[in-house]
Amino acid sequence: MNNTISNNNFSCRSCDSNDITSILDLGLHPWCNDFLLKEMVGKEESYPLHLVHCEKCKLLQLNFTVPKETMFEDHTYVSSTTNTLKKHFYELAEENKNQFNLSDNDLIVDIGGNDGTQLLQYIKAGMDNVLNVESASKIAQLGIDDGVTTLVEFFNEETVKTRIGDGSIKLINASGVFFHLEELHSVIKGIKRGLAEDGVFVVQFMYAGTMIEKLNFDTIYHEHLCYYTLNSLTNLLSPYNLQIFDAYYSDIHSGSIIAKIQHKGGMYGKTDRYVDTLKNDEKYTKEEFLNFSNSVGATRFKLKDLLTNLKSKDSSIKIYAYGAPAKGNTLLNYFNIDNTLIDKCVEVNDLKIGRYLPKSHIPIIKESIDDLPDYYLLLSHNFATEILERNRDLINKGIKFIIPFPTVQIVDKNNINNFKF
């Protein structure tokens, strides 16, 4: 089958090539973080969600962009809701402090730092000179309230030039935001411009290799414009004389890469773990991505069949979604799972409670032991280990958790001790 896209209106986000191949077309989806007020149910807009591959620079990417003002000026994602993420951020802050001999006076900037959770871990580690650059005003205010100095705007070259200063930043952090960037090249120019001569850019991104290994197609949504391998990231950075010298795999978000980048010819040599990670990276080719697409298609109906069978056997059975992450909406909407199969969705994020999931129109309620289902569908499966352990008492009382990835499985009191994600 010929997967080449003939639409010359789309050029690669990284290298501007028109030599683009279709990998996975998920159809039309609403913006995944558009958690709906009741009066907006049924009025949400939908946009193409289509993963493609650049033949020149090897970048996986979406070929349609929802305007950044729609996605990032007012969203509901908050970093601080999981202990797993806070622990990870603290460990990363300590690692960077020791690896780069950071001092109290060194400026640390977080691109799209959300509610300041990452920078609070740097402060906890003894470094107070921090700056969060976050465009979502409500989310940024949470960090400001916690004492994190914040610029409420988008990070780009102009921001560095006018608000931060050339060569002033010892460490730039981008955790889980680098693949969101519509103004990709302006951001990289800002990083290049802002980094001190001995400065380091630390980027954490959900790894395209892990996405296909674990079949995590739900990481594909409109905010995630790019899906990197080390190879494609290197191709993006090289024209700006930025080079990766350290990189390693992390389990966070179901599988990420943490890469550390400096000016070309900088003071840091390539680490052994970077060399090993790069060698493993070479196996993720276009052919592997196409195999991933075929596997997604083959498993599309397994989860819906399970839910349908549970409901058809006993109409009184209650099935709730656990967590309302953006990724959950990709899963539900591609599988055509809606409020006829999932009764409610439980959440702890107050910004989402009382709203409805886009397209599936499942109501979001506050998690409570006073309203329990027979089954939870775990949409926040990237934090499965933490969530299952936290709910061990409920599981032992008979409540079951349905895990959708990498294969559909039911965790109950009889097998929870053997569960591995």
Q: Is residue 38 assigned to a domain?
A: no
Mean pLDDT of 360-380: 96
Contact (CB, 8 A) for 176 and 222: no
Q: How many domains does the chain have?
A: 2
327 and 249 part of one domain: no
Q: Is residue 2 predicted with pLDDT exceeding 60?
A: no
235 and 110 in a common domain:
yes
Chain segment 336-369, per-residue pLDDT in tens: 999 999 999 999 989 899 999 999 999 999 999 9
Average pLDDT, the chain: 91
Is residue 161 classed exposed, middle or buried when 0-12, 13-18 and 19+ CB atoms within 10 A define those classes? middle
What are the pLDDT digits (tens) for 302-340? 899 999 999 999 989 999 999 999 999 999 999 999 999
Same domain, 377 and 264: no
**Residue 406 within a domain:** yes
Mean local confidence (pLDDT), 16-43 = 94
- Residues 172 and 275 both lie in one domain: yes
Q: Are residues 117 and 264 in the same domain?
A: yes
pLDDT at 84 exceeding the cut of 90 = no
Torsion of CA 64, 66, 68, 74, to 10 degrees: -150
pLDDT score of 388: 95
Q: Say which residues have a Cβ less than 8 Å from residue 353's Cβ, sequence separation at least 6.
A: 347, 364, 365, 366
Q: What mean pLDDT is predicted for residues 125-152?
A: 93
| Any domain includes 63 | no
Residues of 324-358 as b/e, b for ≥16 C-beta within 10 angstroms? bbbbbbbbbbbbebebebbbbbbbebebbbebbbb
Does residue 404 sit in the same domain as residue 379?
yes
Last residue of a domain, which of 255, 284, 313?
284
Domain that holds residue 335: 300-418
293: in domain: no
In a domain, 371, yes or no: yes
In this predicted structure, the answer to whether residue 79 has a pLDDT above a threshold of 80 is no
| pLDDT (average), residues 108-123 | 94
Q: What is the CATH number of the domain that holds 328?
A: 3.40.50.720
Residue 199: inside a domain? yes
* Confidence bin at 7 (pLDDT 50/70/90): very low
More confident residue, 70 or 190: 190
The model carries a pTM of 0.87
| DSSP, residue by residue, 226-238 | EE--HHHHHHHHG
Tens digit of pLDDT for each residue in 152-179?
Answer: 999 999 999 999 999 999 999 998 787 7
| Cβ-proximal residues to 243 (8 Å cutoff; 6+ apart), any chain | 234, 237, 261, 262, 263, 264, 266
Residue 59 resides in a domain: no
Residues 280, 330, single domain; the answer is: no
Residue 40 lies in a domain: no
327 plus 279 within the same structural domain: no
Mean of the pLDDT values across residues 384-406?
A: 93
What CATH number did the domain enclosing 196 receive?
3.40.50.150
Q: How far separated are the first and last CA of the chain, in Å rounded?
A: 34
Same domain, 94 and 173: yes
